[in-house]
A and B are shown apart, each in its own frame.
Chain A
Amino acid sequence: VAGTRVKVKDPAPVEAPPDQPIPAQPAPRPREAPRTMRALRESRQGKRASRAKPLENVLRHGLRLERVPDPSVLVLFGATGDLAHRKVMPAMYQLWRTNLLPHEFMLLAIGRRPYDDDAFRTEVRASLEQFSRVLPLDDAAWSSFAERIRYHRLDFADSAGFDDLADALDLIDKDAGTRGNRLFYLATQPSQFSEIVAQLGRVGLDHETHDGGWRRIVIEKPFGHDLESAKRLNREVGKVFREAQVYRIDHYLGKETVRNLLVFRFGNTIFEPLWNRRYVDHVQITVGESIGIEERGAFYEETGASRDVLQNHLLQLVSLIAMEPPATFEADALRDEKVKVLRAIGTRLADPASEVVRGQYGAGWVAATQVPGYRQEADVDPESETETFVAARLTIDDWRWSGVPFYVRTGKRLPKRATEIAIQFRAVPHHLFRETGAEPDANLLAIRIQPDEGIMLRFGAKIPGLGLDVRSVTMDFTYGSAFTVDSPDAYETLILDALQGDASLFTRADEVEEAWSLIDPIVEAWASMDAPAFPNYDAGTWGPPEADELLAREGRHWRRL
């Protein structure tokens, strides 16, 4: 490669020795340096003509959407688990069915249960019948996909087993032409991440060699339990894999509407000029769930709403809403800007007592069904202090957002499942229609992420008639109406991106750590307070009254969803 480039010798830097004064005169030009504009232009053009074109696969131009990932093996750890069957396998099947995976593709399922290939395939088929987003299954697509599934039994604590895994992968490369490209997908319990990563490193499965193909690793959330554990995990992963090989998944980032946020903000002219403290009064972000903790009592007891949703989904949404435009649409440019937002979140929530509200649901009614309180759920401490609701007032101390509060909230057993970002604009500076007694509400832009993905803009309009009555109306864009087909599942998007080496929608180590550094002080402050008076909201309501007070004391209120 280097042989095709002409080496241009750099002129020696003109530098004074450290103990001598800098010479007053500018450094003399090299004797042959062009002095006139013409000479300069000709010398540049001459140089350019003699310079070999940089090596670039120009045939790739314009083929971005046609790109098929390299031949590869996806090694799925935790293949018999719930996540693999509900999300990963249906996504893989859908990608295969739509010809988005390479022909030379294999899925090596890793688990501890004693399956053979056929038994595992039967299980996968049963899961797809239940969870595939396109039913009925396409028999031809399924049978060709099934041929590419192998099952490999492995106990993660068994070192020798990883040697066998390396041999199995080499064999697959030979048989299936997968060329040493491997995507390791950790869909296991988080406690097993470190061990698996270390074992992969021990047997050299992380090594990217010139002819050995690429190696990447996808790690599911939660990435750590707090800042310290996240740093430790980052360190352990970093001992084996380079950061560029690591894909930390937060499936929210793969959702169509979340991806559309970037297009909406940076692909349109009309919104960005308003996207700042001058026009925006405040921002509200809600990630509401009507379900409880289901069968995950033990997990949730250790997690709570702040770790389960605020640390990742909510802060990711804040980043995407508040970030500056990246210079390019490349992974690191995008993530650099997101990290800047997290770093600018004001005061690091030094006073959680006044800026953060926590709650826990008691018994109540949701969707016409009576549901138990959190403390009555299975595997939950009857005196649990785990929060199932959290609301916070964040500020972002930068030029664009200074003084604009970002109110975020998330909770279990809320009246409905709704995720929405609302940009509340300021009121008009002069109330021209005050006399009519019908001053319209300030403009509002609501970005609905689920359900009914779409965007709504509220503005004032005159009511038809002889008078001058004004009313707020909405302009509504619904994904489901403008594009009435299903969007790809977030996992399809993210797995395909990982196979193609595009990390834009994955979180980087520093992003994860910054997010934890916001959550840790909150959790620590709670730990030092008196026990909360839980439960403090009924299932089927929008959280404790303190969440409303968080806004009410500034003359605001949560949007009614």
Chain B
Amino acid sequence: MTAPAGSPIAVNEPVLRWSARAQSIADIEKELARIWSTQDLTTEIDGERTRHIAARTSVMNLVVIARRPEVAIRGAATIQALTGRHPSRTIVVQSADPDGPSWIDARVEAHCILPREDAPETCAETIHLTAGGEAGRHLSAIVTPLIIHDLPVTIWWPGEPPFTSRAALDLFAVADRLVVDGSRWSGDGLDRLREMAVFAAETDIAVCDFALLRQSRWREAIASIFDDPDFLPYLRSLRRIAVTYATHDESGATGTTNIVRPVYHVAWLASRLELAVRKPLAEMVPAGRSAKTRPVAGVRPIVGRGLGATLSDGRSDVHVVVRPVVSSMPSGTTLRVELLAERRGSELRADVMAERDLVHVRVWQDGVEVLERHFHAARRDDVDLLEQAIETARRDVVSSGALRSAAELVGPPGDA
């Protein structure tokens, strides 16, 4: 156990005030209790150790499941940057040596932040926990005793959550919110997206996907088109949605690039406009050749054609195209969303494109350009996204609707 001497603390800079090691859950609990019962939390100012006032604050439990050490480090850094706004008891869990004997090694820390010069320090705890052997497979048994009861539990799973594994489901059962990043999943990410939709539908847990949050300015840009009363009547008359995304795979094989983000664009529109899926996403082929369902990785697709689907508003079909373009942008990034609406012989075409840190909206009505607008869309880091994920309403309509529609767009498992 060590109680590191603090240095004079700078406003809004988290400082490590306590660090101790433990090898069992019981020892971790003891250390947590000891941090706050110790009267000698001291700080060193001008060479003199002086007592300072520190208030423990937690507004939630934040559990990070990191399968790799570098993910754990990145996750802990992200959360530390959030200490100010969302002081939480944070538990960063890693597994190691799955075939060896069971063991636990934990570092219990208290980080403090000075919100203002005249305010007391506010401190929150972080537990870095590595579990080896069989223990590492029973995440729920590790996490449950360490959470502060009565506070909400958010699980951040930066990797690929196994939505069908018993151990993961047991862990999710203690949580109120699950935060994932679908845009970092392997392959095209769509199988896991479907699994997540099923999981979300069957549980009360609120699912928040960074992949969907990243697109908030795109949604704002697209929605803004129809704020104009002249264009609003076209909203229920969409006939075509085309989403273009970046790929680094020059073969254009759609199964090799994560397309969760482009699919979310279509899914969001489908959910808001109550469009039913008539034909789920399938590889598009030229006329005369039969279409098979989503391409299998490694099977060379027809370059540049992407995936197609058909939605329906009950009266007419809405054709969907999700197509790759070789680009230097990060793989899977949305580059463009095009909408075509037809109403009583009149046509509205909207083109929403990424331009550096902007989203550029242009709209044509019957071939005449009628609107041009830009939206700031600065790149968002994990700190921003996690903050928004935590602050979003428990079950927000955008997220739950888009996830449900995405699963329908992807189609049943048999098609994969």
Footprint of B on A, CB under 8 Å? Answer: 1, 4, 53, 55-63, 66-68, 70-71, 99, 102-104, 177, 480-485
Of B84, B222, B226, B358, which is within 8 A of A103 by CB?
Answer: B358
State whether B374 touches A104 (Cβ < 8 A).
yes
State whether B269 touches A59 (Cβ < 8 A).
yes
Q: Is B220 located at the chain interface by the 8 A CB criterion? A: yes
Using known A-B contacts A481-B122, A485-B115, determine if residue A67 contacts B376 with beta carbons closer than 8 Å.
Answer: no
Q: Is B26 located at the chain interface by the 8 A CB criterion? A: no
Using known A-B contacts A59-B226, A481-B115, A483-B85, determine if residue A1 contacts B273 with beta carbons closer than 8 Å.
Answer: no
| Assembly CA distance A202 to B325 (angstroms) | 55
Using known A-B contacts A480-B116, A484-B122, A485-B84, determine if residue A63 contacts B373 with beta carbons closer than 8 Å.
Answer: no
- A-B complex: 7 closest residue pairs judged by Cβ atoms: A484-B115, A59-B223, A62-B398, A103-B374, A99-B376, A62-B397, A484-B84
Chain A residues whose C-beta falls within 8 Å of the C-beta of B358 in the assembled complex = 103
Summarize B's interface: helix, strand, loop or mixed: mixed
Chain A residues whose C-beta falls within 8 Å of the C-beta of B272 in the assembled complex = 58-59, 61
| Assembly CA distance A501 to B216 (angstroms) | 21
Using known A-B contacts A4-B233, A103-B374, A177-B372, determine if residue A62 contacts B87 with beta carbons closer than 8 Å.
Answer: no
Q: Is B227 located at the chain interface by the 8 A CB criterion? A: yes
Chain B residues whose C-beta falls within 8 Å of the C-beta of A55 in the assembled complex = 229, 232-233
State whether B115 touches A68 (Cβ < 8 A).
no
Q: Please name 16 pairs of A and B residues whose Cβ atoms are closer than 8 Å in the assembled complex, sorted by A.
A: A58-B235, A59-B223, A59-B273, A62-B398, A70-B224, A99-B376, A481-B87, A481-B120, A482-B87, A484-B83, A484-B85, A484-B87, A484-B113, A484-B115, A484-B122, A485-B115
State whether B398 touches A63 (Cβ < 8 A).
yes
Chain B residues whose C-beta falls within 8 Å of the C-beta of A59 in the assembled complex = 219, 222-223, 226, 235, 269, 272-273
Chain B residues whose C-beta falls within 8 Å of the C-beta of A103 in the assembled complex = 358, 373-376
| Assembly CA distance A480 to B113 (angstroms) | 11
Chain B residues whose C-beta falls within 8 Å of the C-beta of A70 in the assembled complex = 224, 227
Using known A-B contacts A62-B398, A484-B115, determine if residue A68 contacts B224 with beta carbons closer than 8 Å.
Answer: yes
* Min CB–CB distance A410 → chain B (angstroms): 24
Interface string of B135-174 (1 = CB under 8 A from A): 0000000000000000000000000000000000000000
Chain B residues whose C-beta falls within 8 Å of the C-beta of A482 in the assembled complex = 57, 59, 87
Q: Is B369 located at the chain interface by the 8 A CB criterion? A: no
Chain B residues whose C-beta falls within 8 Å of the C-beta of A61 in the assembled complex = 272, 397-398
Q: Is B297 located at the chain interface by the 8 A CB criterion? A: no
| Assembly CA distance A483 to B219 (angstroms) | 28
Residue in A closest to B217 when the chains form the complex, CB atoms:
A66
Q: Is B378 located at the chain interface by the 8 A CB criterion? A: yes
| Assembly CA distance A23 to B144 (angstroms) | 74
* Min CB–CB distance B267 → chain A (angstroms): 13
Interface centre among B113, B217, B373, by most chain A C-beta atoms within 10 angstroms, is B373
Residue in B closest to A56 when the chains form the complex, CB atoms:
B232
Chain B interface: which size bin? 35 or more
Of A58, A102, A177, which is within 8 A of B273 by CB?
Answer: A58
State whether A62 touches B396 (Cβ < 8 A).
yes
| Assembly CA distance A68 to B398 (angstroms) | 17
Chain B residues whose C-beta falls within 8 Å of the C-beta of A484 in the assembled complex = 12, 57, 83-85, 87, 113, 115, 119, 122
| Assembly CA distance A55 to B229 (angstroms) | 9
Q: Is B68 located at the chain interface by the 8 A CB criterion? A: no
Residue in A closest to B236 when the chains form the complex, CB atoms:
A53
| Assembly CA distance A232 to B363 (angstroms) | 45
Chain A residues whose C-beta falls within 8 Å of the C-beta of B375 in the assembled complex = 68, 102-103
* Min CB–CB distance A456 → chain B (angstroms): 15
| Assembly CA distance A57 to B398 (angstroms) | 14
* Min CB–CB distance B355 → chain A (angstroms): 11
State whether B373 touches A71 (Cβ < 8 A).
yes
Using known A-B contacts A481-B115, A485-B115, determine if residue A63 contacts B223 with beta carbons closer than 8 Å.
Answer: yes
| Assembly CA distance A57 to B85 (angstroms) | 33
Chain B residues whose C-beta falls within 8 Å of the C-beta of A67 in the assembled complex = 220
Given contacts A58-B272, A60-B227, A104-B374, 16 further A-B contacts (CB under 8 A): A1-B229, A59-B273, A62-B399, A63-B219, A63-B398, A66-B216, A67-B220, A68-B224, A68-B376, A103-B374, A104-B373, A480-B116, A481-B87, A481-B122, A484-B12, A484-B83
State whether A68 touches B220 (Cβ < 8 A).
yes
| Assembly CA distance A67 to B57 (angstroms) | 32
* Min CB–CB distance A16 → chain B (angstroms): 42
Chain B residues whose C-beta falls within 8 Å of the C-beta of A62 in the assembled complex = 396-399, 401
Using known A-B contacts A103-B375, A104-B373, determine if residue A481 contacts B235 with beta carbons closer than 8 Å.
Answer: no
Using known A-B contacts A63-B220, A103-B374, A484-B84, determine if residue A57 contacts B119 with beta carbons closer than 8 Å.
Answer: no
Using known A-B contacts A62-B397, A480-B116, determine if residue A485 contacts B85 with beta carbons closer than 8 Å.
Answer: yes
State whether A480 touches B219 (Cβ < 8 A).
no
* Min CB–CB distance A92 → chain B (angstroms): 15
Using known A-B contacts A4-B233, A103-B358, determine if residue A66 contacts B376 with beta carbons closer than 8 Å.
Answer: no
Q: Is B77 located at the chain interface by the 8 A CB criterion? A: no
**Contact residues of B between 372 and 416, Cβ < 8 Å to A:** 372-376, 378, 396-399, 401
Residue in A closest to B85 when the chains form the complex, CB atoms:
A485
| Assembly CA distance A70 to B87 (angstroms) | 35
Q: Is B1 located at the chain interface by the 8 A CB criterion? A: no
| Assembly CA distance A269 to B269 (angstroms) | 36
| Assembly CA distance A119 to B84 (angstroms) | 38
Residue in A closest to B226 when the chains form the complex, CB atoms:
A57
State whether A60 touches B223 (Cβ < 8 A).
yes
State whether A66 touches B232 (Cβ < 8 A).
no
| Assembly CA distance A57 to B376 (angstroms) | 21
Residue in A closest to B359 when the chains form the complex, CB atoms:
A103
Interface string of B59-89 (1 = CB under 8 A from A): 1000000000000000000000001110100
| Assembly CA distance A104 to B235 (angstroms) | 24
Chain B residues whose C-beta falls within 8 Å of the C-beta of A57 in the assembled complex = 223, 226-227, 232, 235
* Min CB–CB distance B286 → chain A (angstroms): 33
Chain A residues whose C-beta falls within 8 Å of the C-beta of B227 in the assembled complex = 57, 60, 70
| Assembly CA distance A532 to B42 (angstroms) | 55
Residue in B closest to A67 when the chains form the complex, CB atoms:
B220
Residue in A closest to B82 when the chains form the complex, CB atoms:
A485
